[in-house]
Amino acid sequence: MRRALLALMTLAALPLSAQTADEIVSKYVKTIGGMDKLQAVKSVRRSGKFTGGGGFEARVLEEKRRPDQIRQEFSIQGMVGVTAYDGRSGWKIEPWQGKKDPEPLGEEEMKSIVEDSDFDGPLVNYASKGNKVEYAGMEPVEGTDAYKLKVTLKNGDVEYFYMDTDYYVPIKIETQRFVRGEQREYETSLGDYKEVAGVYFPYSSETNAKGSPFKQKISIEKIEVNVTLAESRFVEPRVTGQLPAAAPDASNLQPKPPEEKKPPQTEQKKPPVPLTRRFAAPSPDGRGIFLASLLPGEKVAEGRMRGAR
């Protein structure tokens, strides 16, 4: 009798526990639109609002083009910061630091922008990208059980995706990163699904340091797919200085009369204008302007996916 009860209990748990990583990823792809519709999207532009601590707000823009080009913009008080990657090299412009010319990304910044440039995210076609996905059991997220996937990226970074047990989409992503030699952990919740060209995209994301109540939020207001994006949007612009003037032809020169000597004028000095770093745009997880890769997902507290069947 006892063995029979144990067998029934095991069978009852199978729908949730007997899942492989590949099965979960496959159902995730199917839920957000299917591989064919995903591959039909060749470019995407997202625009919206960033909200930080104390009600601080700024405008955000992200443009991506297959296979691995990305441009992110952060606008505040008339200044527009840019972080971009053209598939080979990354660059940035940080006007709030008094810098108007582009400069190369640092090592950590480059690592982050390369991850962000993955058009479909680390789960889709993960093996061909050199990523590894493992099923790590069940774990509750805000009181609801979720499948936990351990995602080891090609560069060695580890992320944990918590997948909804009904729709198989991420409801939370935990990221581990080394920032200046120190390991830090961050959490991102994704939600507010809407369908664009047959593919579901999240319109909101919230990120915070693990265990911290302080969150930064991005609310996407518009998503456009298959928009025309010029190559120049991603390639670092050249900084061209003024060309030296051509040497005059001595045969055409007329002798000048001697100039009258005048007493030197004392130039009126102006007080120096300090360059104050009023605002810096890096996100908590070091991923440039956006707080995390905008992958389809949902936040449990905000309900199920809109329009999902």
CATH architecture of 34-236+277-302: Clam (2.50)
**6 has pLDDT over 50:** no
Cα 137 vs. chain centroid, distance in angstroms?
Answer: 27
Instruction: Please measure the distance between the N-terminal and C-terminal CA atoms of the chain and give it in whole angstroms.
Output: 40
Residue environment code for 277-303, b if the CB has 16+ CB neighbours within 10 A, otherwise e: eebebbbbbbbbbbbbbbbbbbbbeee
The string of pLDDT tens digits covering residues 116-136 is 999 999 999 999 999 999 999
The string of pLDDT tens digits covering residues 65-118 is 999 999 999 999 899 999 999 999 999 999 988 889 999 999 889 999 999 999
